Structure 1
Amino acid sequence: MTSTPELRTDRLIIRDWDISDAPAALPVYGAEQVARWLTPEIRAVHDVEAMRSVLHAWVEAQPNLVPPAGRWAVVRREDGLLVGGLSLRQLPPYEEDFELSWHLRPDAWGYGYATEAGRRISAWAFDQGIEELFAVARPKNTRAIATARRIGMEWVGETEKYYDSRLQVFRIRPADLGRGAP
Structure 2
Amino acid sequence: MELLCTDRLRLRAWTTDDADLARLADLYSRDEVTRWLGGAPTVSPAELVERWRLVHQLDPAHGCWAIEPRSGGPPAGTVLLKPLPHGVGEVEVGWHLHPDSWRLGYATEAARAVVDRAFDDGLLEVYAVVRPGNEASLRVCQKLGMQALGRTTRWYGTELEAFRLEAPAE
| Structure 2 counterpart of 1:26, one-letter code | A
Aligned ranges 1:36-75 → 2 under 5 Å = 36-38=35-37, 43-44=39-40, 50-59=44-53, 61-75=54-68
| Structure 1 counterpart of 2:9, one-letter code | L
CA–CA distance in 1 between the matches of 2:121 and 2:168?
15
* Worse-superposed segment, 84-93 or 149-158: 149-158
Spell out, residue by residue over 1:57-83, the C-alpha distance to the aligned partner (whole angstroms, 9 max, x if none). 323x14422132111111000014210
What TM-score do you get using the length of structure 2 for normalisation?
Answer: 0.89
CA–CA distance in 2 between the matches of 1:130 and 1:67?
13
CA–CA distance in 1 between the matches of 2:93 and 2:56?
18
Aligned ranges 1:149-164 → 2 under 5 Å = 149-164=142-157
CA–CA distance in 2 between the matches of 1:94 and 1:175?
22
Q: Answer whether contact 2:55 2:82 (CA < 8 A) is retained.
A: no
CA–CA distance in 2 between the matches of 1:62 and 1:169?
22
Spell out, residue by residue over 1:150-178, the C-alpha distance to the aligned partner (whole angstroms, 9 max, x if none). 122121222121111111111112229xx
Aligned ranges 1:3-18 → 2 under 5 Å = 6-18=3-15
User: Is residue 88 from structure 1 mapped to residue 72 from structure 2 by the alignment?
Assistant: no
- 44 and 91 in structure 1: CA distance in 2 versus 1, 3 angstrom threshold: same
Task: Give how far 1:94 is off.
Answer: 2.9
Q: Answer whether contact 1:156 1:169 (CA < 8 A) is retained.
A: yes
Q: Answer whether contact 1:17 1:72 (CA < 8 A) is retained.
A: yes
CA–CA distance in 2 between the matches of 1:141 and 1:157?
14
User: Is residue 32 from structure 1 mapped to residue 31 from structure 2 by the alignment?
Assistant: yes
Task: Give how far 1:144 is off.
Answer: 1.0
- Structure 2 SS opposite 1:33: helix
Q: Extract unaligned runs of 5+ from structure 1.
A: 177-182
- 145 and 63 in structure 1: CA distance in 2 versus 1, 3 angstrom threshold: closer
- Structure 1 SS opposite 2:138: helix
What TM-score do you get using the length of structure 1 for normalisation?
Answer: 0.83
Q: Extract unaligned runs of 5+ from structure 2.
A: none
Identity over aligned pairs, percent? 35
CA–CA distance in 2 between the matches of 1:160 and 1:7?
32
Spell out, residue by residue over 1:101-159, the C-alpha distance to the aligned partner (whole angstroms, 9 max, x if none). 10000111001000010111100111121001000112211111111111221212221
